[in-house]
């Protein structure tokens, strides 16, 4: 049986999980592939560091360059994280003619276009199934399973930390800070948790999906990102009364240009949104991920599972290892192209031009004429109100006023709310959350 030797660089959560998974299921994979997977070396920072996964000392080295330069090693697994050393590792491996498997979404978000071009230049490949949504095979879905479809919509719950927090806020009535502290204690959130709760982790993943689906590299600087730190228990409760659930969504929408000479623009955004309780994504709870993909031929398809964690990520890496092993077995290092830039004129739609419906919460003084002033400002911006709720029984100087807004551009809404916020009767900055109808 043909043997493929693997060099692992990094033995933390991902690298250690991959090592453990190969020890457990390597023989099963060999029987299915006709190729034996053998770990030849594991590069680590500290040989003496205690590890949750026991790795044979004979395999360990602190010199990651020796792993790449070893002529007996066929594939490199980059599991160090970050974007600096990881980029150097990947490019050096390509120069040695070796393909790389990574789970590093931050690396792909920052340097994906460069790395894919380098892989093509050196006749190697970059496998990255584990970079988005853990054990959910969403990269294969977009690159292979739905290759005959034009992808018109992607909606993703792709950050387990945020989904865990919002789920508990809804189901238990808990406050944001309380649930975040529990998430950190349970290991669902890092310390500090900014990458997750500010939406940047979800943005890395959403950008990768957008690029793969639409054939041009979505510049992460053009992705609109909004986290969940401003979501309060009050908003969770009012949304529930209106028949909605709040989720952090990664959204990719294609809008066809009215002018034939112009390419279609694609919305690439991450923000909290109100989802109808009847929609399947509204019922994805805890640390689970789910991604809805709409193709022009297949229609809506849904992918659900664990989006993070050692085992889920290792499962995705094993899938890439299988593809890489088959490529080598067939004598083709790039049997499946990692990314094909087929829409070079594609562009990200600025958030100001994105049209949505909105939930708006205001804190106002309850006196005659207040609502009239608010509606006048909205009307002057050609923004319509679908419903108004002013809950009774609130004590204090101000009371909440909930507005549900018809379709409007983000630019118009932002300007109108800035004016509303300056009214003397409005006692706190307006809260705006977009409403997603999945049309």
* Residues catalogued as catalytic: 205
Closest CA to 209 of 251, 178, 169: 251
What span, in angstroms and rounded, lies between the C-alpha atoms of 428 and 141? 45
Where residue 432 falls (left for φ over 0; alpha for ψ -120 to 50; beta otherwise) is beta
Q: Tokens 């991604």: give the residue.
A: 291
CA distance readout (Å), 235 to 72, 91, 169, 383: 58, 46, 10, 22
Cα of first residue to Cα of last residue in the chain, in angstroms, is 51
Alpha-carbon dihedral 169, 173, 174, 180, rounded to 10 degrees = -10
Burial of 104 (0-12, 13-18, 19+ CB in 10 A): buried
Alpha-carbon dihedral 205, 119, 65, 88, rounded to 10 degrees = -50
Q: Which two tokens stand for residue 349?
A: 């739609």
Question: How many CB atoms lie under 10 A from the CB of residue 208?
Answer: 27
Q: Which two tokens stand for residue 8?
A: 């692992």
Cis bond before residue 338 (omega within 30° of 0):
no
What span, in angstroms and rounded, lies between the C-alpha atoms of 412 and 281? 28
What span, in angstroms and rounded, lies between the C-alpha atoms of 156 and 154? 6
């Amino acid at each position: 049986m043909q043997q493929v030797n693997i060099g692992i660089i990094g033995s933390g959560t991902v690298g250690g999980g991959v090592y453990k998974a190969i020890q457990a299921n390597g023989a099963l994979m060999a029987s299915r592939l006709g190729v034996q997977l053998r770990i030849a070396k594991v590069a680590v920072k500290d040989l003496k560091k205690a590890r949750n996964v026991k790795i044979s000392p004979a395999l360990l080295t602190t010199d990651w360059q020796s792993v790449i330069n070893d002529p007996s090693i066929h594939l490199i697994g980059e599991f160090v994280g970050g974007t600096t050393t990881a980029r150097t590792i990947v490019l050096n491996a390509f120069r040695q003619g070796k393909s790389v498997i990574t789970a590093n979404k931050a690396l792909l978000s920052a340097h994906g276009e460069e790395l894919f071009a380098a892989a093509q230049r050196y006749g190697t490949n970059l496998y990255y199934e584990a970079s988005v949504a853990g054990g959910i095979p969403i990269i294969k879905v977009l690159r292979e399973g739905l290759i005959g479809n034009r992808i018109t919509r992607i909606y993703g719950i792709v950050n387990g930390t945020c989904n865990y927090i919002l789920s508990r806020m809804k189901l238990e009535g808990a406050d944001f800070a309380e649930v975040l502290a529990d998430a950190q204690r349970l290991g669902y959130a890092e310390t500090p948790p900014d990458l997750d709760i500010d939406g940047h982790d979800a943005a890395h993943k959403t950008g990768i999906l957008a690029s793969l689906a639409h054939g041009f590299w979505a510049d992460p600087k053009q992705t609109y990102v909004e986290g969940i730190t401003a979501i309060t228990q009050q908003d969770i409760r009012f949304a529930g009364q209106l028949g909605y659930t709040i989720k952090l969504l990664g959204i990719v929408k294609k809008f066809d240009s009215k002018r034939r000479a112009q390419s279609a623009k694609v919305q690439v955004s991450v923000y909290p949104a109100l989802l109808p309780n009847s929609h399947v994504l509204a019922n994805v709870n805890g640390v689970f991920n789910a991604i809805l993909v709409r193709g022009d031929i297949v229609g809506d398809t849904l992918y659900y599972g664990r989006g993070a964690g050692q085992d889920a990520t290792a499962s995705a890496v094993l899938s890439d290892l299988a593809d890489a092993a088959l490529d080598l077995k067939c004598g083709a290092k790039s049997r499946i192209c990692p990314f094909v830039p087929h829409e070079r004129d594609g562009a990200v739609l600025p958030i100001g031009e994105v049209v949505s419906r909105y939930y708006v919460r205001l804190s106002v003084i309850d006196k005659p004429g207040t609502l009239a002033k608010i509606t006048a400002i909205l009307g002057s911006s050609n923004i319509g109100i679908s419903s108004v709720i002013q809950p009774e029984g609130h004590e204090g100087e101000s009371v909440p006023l909930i507005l549900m807004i018809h379709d409007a551009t983000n630019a118009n809404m932002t300007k109108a709310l800035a004016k509303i916020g300056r009214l003397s009767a409005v006692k706190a900055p307006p809260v705006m959350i977009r409403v997603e109808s999945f049309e």
